[in-house]
């Protein structure tokens, strides 16, 4: 929208430089007039080629030319006749030879041969030589006068030809000069064209047929080369542009950014000229905006350096690619077009990591001073929901998709919230939405219906998952067959179903995993087996250490925490990372300490802090759907469900099957804020409040945990006492 309000930038073209042929001249014209100049020069050449033969074939031109030539011939004849008469009088004859005129001595009117001349008496030969010397001086004088006469005639013919050409070219050029009077650079170029045409016009009159002795194609190439001198290479044409251009270069190589000069092969030799100069993206975006993908610029050799050089100088300089790689002298030197001023905004779009990589370059910090972060989501407001509908309508019109009814649009909006993982947000990843729309259109056409409905959008989403979820299905099969041990019914002490998320390319899915805890007397504290074998990431290890902090805060205020506990993800053979299972690990540990069984029909996700507050996690929808699939495979009982952090409720955007199961009471979702709420749901017992005397309410989970910790402390002290007594004995 901003670009539309800005003025349309000028056209740019390259023309022949008559003073420096290897440096083509750049001309700047208002938008649309570059195209007009191209047409005007084309018509000029056509008119010159059409009218020149008429002028040179006209009676007036022929009469003047014949007059000059006849006068030259007459004067030459008179001078040679007078010289011939003078030579005869001196006993010599004149003979024309390639080098000039030769004096041949005569005897009785007959030429003397060299032998006859040598046989003459010396005195006679001496007199003949004297007369020859005098005559040779006269011959040289006559020849000099003849050359002056021919030069004068040639100059008169040249002036005649010049006037003839000027009678054609002058008026045509003058009309163009008047048309482009407001553009001084163009006027100077047109005047240079006029002067050059007065010199090169004979080549424009080359015969139409190839000379018999000329190499094949040489004649036509020579004529074409002359004609090209007067063409206009319009490299930027903004005649149809409204406002400032916005250019997106999908392949930002050096040549595509800066421009390049093509070569063509003539008679086996690569040649080039200014008409083969090609514009780059910077030329097309000049006066507007150029959008580049930052990663693509880095991948192209020389592209980043070329872009920086252009921005530093504010000039677009087309250079030979060979020069950039030090191949000077190896590749023939080409043209050096005149640089064009740059007046464009360059926008680099990329991931944050790419920005930090660019930031290491001091030039980047100097040249790109404005940074803008783009959100991947937007608020789910009525206005933005309408914007979703407008996007859908635009795509339908652009790609000729079937119309989407209100149910289909509602499904798209819901999918947008699903992608954003937030009920109050919508995803701005419109490419993913467009893919869903195209596939929904396909399924609607398969059913031969006139509009796309919610059913088709849902099928598109399901089919997309089906094409990618082979591994997910395999995992669910292993769970159903009991190969991967996951209980979805009953109750077990020290065992809980945690939830993990796996990402494979464009598919993210959740799956349950068994977490178990064991305890004993000792001072080692809580040991994470995953960390011990280096399968636990740093964030996961941090979450386990927080469990120790929770136990100290709740149960070690009046006694030391003497505990040796081990936690493990059963049947886990890959790295475990993240703290979303820390609450599940804590529930397993509390269950083992309290010796209270945990309902296996419930799965748990959520991180926890040292104060026992359950914190939000990611992938909540995939985790719930993954456990639902496991319960469905092993049989839904109506008592199964998932415990999630209460702060994740706004992130729930579940698929319709899970939503229906929850609505029918066959599956449940329990949001909790604290560990106390969660342990009560899992065990059926209250967690227990701390009483004024520091103990917990009797027969509660925390009362049992506290009692067990005291027992472990007493047993550890007893063992230590026995060891000391044994050492004393």
Note the pLDDT tens digit of each residue in 613-630: 999 999 999 999 999 999
CA distance 703 to 725: 33
* Per-chain mean pLDDT for the chain: 87
Cβ(286)–Cβ(294) under 8 Å? Answer: no
Which domains does the chain carry?
59-195 (no CATH), 377-468 (1.10.8.60), 485-713 (3.30.230.10)
Minimum mean pLDDT range among 60-74, 88-102, 182-196, 398-412: 88-102
Contacts of 687 by beta carbon, 8 Å cutoff, 6+ apart: 675, 676, 677, 679, 680, 700, 701, 702
Question: What are the Cα distances from residue 28, in Å, to 21, 35, 182, 243?
Answer: 19, 12, 12, 17
Report the sign of the C-alpha dihedral through residues 483, 488, 494, 500, in that order.
Answer: positive
- E strands, 180-240, in order: 233-236
Place of tokens 């995803």: 427
Q: Which pLDDT belongs to residue 310?
A: 94
Q: At what angle do helices 430-446 and 406-420 cross, to 10 degrees?
A: 140
Phi, psi dihedral angles at 210 (to 5 degrees):
-70, 125
Pair of tokens at residue 667: 């599956």
Mean pLDDT calculated for residue range 591-612 = 94
Q: What are phi and psi of 570, to 5 degrees?
A: -70, 145
- Other beta carbons within 10 angstroms of residue 5's beta carbon come to 8
Q: What is the pTM of this model?
A: 0.72
Specify whether 345 is catalytic.
no
Options 253, 453, 623, 632, the catalytic residue? 623
Q: Which of the residues 417, 427, 453, 580 is marked catalytic?
A: 580
Minimum mean pLDDT range among 7-11, 219-223, 245-249: 219-223
Separation of alpha carbons 273 and 275, rounded Å:
6
pLDDT per position as a tens digit, 663-684: 999 999 999 999 999 999 999 9
DSSP 256-315: HHH-EE--EEETTEEE--GGGEE--HHHHTTTSEEEEEHHHHHHSTTHHHHHHHHHHHTE
**648: exposed, middle or buried (Cβ count in 10 Å: 0-12, 13-18, 19+):** buried
Residues 6+ apart with CB under 8 A from 132: 92, 103, 105
Of 472, 471, 437, 475, the C-alpha closest to 457 is 437
Active site residue 623: yes
């Amino acid at each position: 929208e901003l670009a539309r309000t800005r003025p349309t930038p000028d056209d740019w073209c390259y023309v022949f430089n008559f003073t420096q042929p290897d440096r083509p001249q750049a001309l700047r014209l208002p938008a649309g007039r570059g195209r007009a100049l191209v047409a005007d020069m084309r018509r000029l050449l056509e008119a010159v080629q059409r009218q020149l033969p008429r002028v040179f074939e006209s009676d007036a031109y022929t009469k003047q030319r014949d007059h000059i030539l006849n006068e030259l011939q007459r004067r030459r004849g008179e001078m040679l006749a007078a010289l011939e008469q003078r030579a005869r009088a001196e006993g010599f004859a004149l003979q024309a030879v390639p080098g000039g005129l030769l004096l041949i001595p005569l005897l009785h009117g007959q030429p003397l041969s060299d032998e006859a001349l040598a046989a003459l008496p010396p005195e006679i030969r001496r007199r003949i030589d004297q007369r020859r010397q005098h005559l040779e001086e006269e011959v040289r004088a006559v020849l000099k006068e003849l050359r002056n006469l021919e030069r004068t005639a040639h100059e008169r013919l040249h002036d005649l030809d010049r006037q003839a050409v000027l009678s054609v070219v002058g008026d045509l050029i003058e009309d163009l000069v008047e048309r482009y009077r407001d553009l001084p650079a163009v006027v100077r170029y047109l005047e240079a064209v006029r002067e050059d045409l007065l010199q090169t016009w004979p080549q424009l009159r080359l015969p139409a047929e190839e000379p018999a002795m000329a190499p094949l194609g040489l004649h036509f190439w020579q004529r074409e080369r002359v004609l090209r001198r007067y063409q206009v290479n319009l490299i930027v044409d903004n005649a149809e542009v409204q406002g400032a251009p916005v250019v997106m270069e999908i392949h930002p190589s050096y040549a595509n950014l800066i421009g390049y000069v093509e070569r063509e092969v003539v008679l086996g030799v690569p040649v080039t000229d200014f008409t083969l100069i090609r514009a780059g993206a910077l030329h097309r975006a000049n006066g507007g905006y150029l959008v580049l993908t930052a990663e693509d610029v880095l991948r192209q050799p020389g592209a980043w350096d070329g872009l920086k050089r252009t921005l530093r100088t504010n000039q677009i300089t087309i250079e030979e690619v060979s020069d950039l790689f030090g191949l000077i002298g190896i590749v023939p030197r080409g043209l050096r077009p005149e640089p064009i001023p740059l007046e464009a905004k360059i926008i680099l779009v990329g991931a944050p990591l790419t920005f930090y990589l660019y930031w290491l370059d001091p030039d980047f910090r100097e040249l790109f001073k404005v940074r803008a972060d783009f959100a991947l989501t937007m608020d789910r407001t009525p206005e933005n929901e309408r914007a979703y509908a407008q996007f859908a309508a635009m795509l339908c019109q652009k790609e000729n998709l079937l119309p989407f009814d209100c149910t289909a649009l509602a499904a798209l909006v819901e999918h947008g919230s699903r992608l954003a993982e937030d009920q109050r947000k919508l995803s701005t990843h419109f490419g993913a939405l467009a893919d869903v729309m195209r596939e929904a259109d396909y399924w609607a056409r398969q059913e031969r219906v006139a509009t796309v409905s919610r059913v088709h959008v849902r099928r598109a989403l399901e089919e997309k998952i089906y094409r990618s979820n082979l591994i997910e299905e395999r995992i669910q099969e292993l769970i159903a067959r009991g190969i991967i041990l996951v209980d979805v019914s009953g109750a077990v002490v020290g065992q809980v179903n945690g939830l993990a998320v796996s990402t494979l390319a464009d598919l993210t899915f959740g799956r349950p995993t068994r977490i178990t805890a064991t305890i004993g007397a000792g001072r080692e504290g809580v040991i994470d087996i995953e960390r011990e074998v280096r399968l636990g990431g740093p964030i996961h290890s941090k979450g386990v250490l927080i469990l120790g902090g929770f136990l100290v805060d709740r149960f070690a205020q009046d006694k030391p925490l003497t505990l040796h506990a081990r936690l493990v993800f059963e049947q886990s053979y890959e790295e475990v990372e993240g703290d979303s299972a820390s609450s599940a690990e804590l529930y397993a540990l509390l269950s083992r300490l309290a010796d209270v069984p945990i309902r296996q029909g419930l799965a748990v996700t959520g991180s926890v802090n040292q104060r026992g507050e359950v914190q939000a996690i990611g992938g909540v929808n995939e985790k719930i759907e993954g456990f639902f699939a496991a319960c469905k495979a092993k049989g839904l009982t109506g008592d199964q469900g998932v415990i999630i952090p209460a702060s994740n409720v706004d992130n729930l955007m579940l698929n319709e099957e899970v939503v229906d199961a929850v609505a029918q009471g066959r599956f449940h979702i329990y949001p909790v804020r604290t560990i106390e709420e969660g342990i009560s749901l899992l065990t059926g017992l209250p967690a227990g409040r701390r009483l004024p005397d520091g103990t917990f309410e009797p027969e509660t989970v925390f009362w049992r945990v506290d009692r067990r910790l005291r027992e472990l402390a007493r047993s550890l002290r007893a063992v230590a006492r026995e060891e000391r007594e044994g050492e004393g004995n």
